[in-house]
Amino acid sequence: MVANLVVGATAATVGLVVSRRSLAVARLEQNRADLEATAADQVSEFLVSLFEVSDPMGDQRGAVTARELLENGAARIEEAEALEARVTADEVASSDAG
């Protein structure tokens, strides 16, 4: 009888551990999927914004070449990366100070 209780308790503990691990894995996968969806949305918005300048119904500043679109996009990416680096540095400095 005691052996059965020990086996049952062990099985329940193992089941609980496996269940918790499965839940943690599911949460990680959900977080990864959310990040990928956010990244895809940002890329889509960025690409749309690149071509808004060439909208024939929009504000006309003259013809815009594909090269200009790409150069403007590259400059915006560099600016965003620089801003992200500054924000990250500020966050690290804040966490080190606190």
For the chain, which residues make up each domain, given as ranges?
1-52, 63-98
pLDDT of amino acid 44: 92
The whole-chain average pLDDT of the chain stands at 85
pLDDT of amino acid 9: 81
Global pTM? 0.56
pLDDT digits (tens, 9 = 90+) for 11-68: 888 888 889 999 999 999 999 999 999 999 999 998 888 887 655 565 556 677 889 8
pLDDT of amino acid 41: 94
Three state DSSP letters for 66-79 = HHHHHHHHHHHHHH
**Which stretches of the chain are DSSP H helices?**
2-52, 66-97
pLDDT of amino acid 82: 92
pLDDT of amino acid 4: 78
**Contact between residue 63 and residue 79 where contact means Cβ atoms under 8 Å apart:** no
The torsion of the CA quartet 11, 16, 17, 21, rounded to 10 degrees, works out to 140
pLDDT of amino acid 18: 85
Residue 55 identity (one-letter amino acid) = D
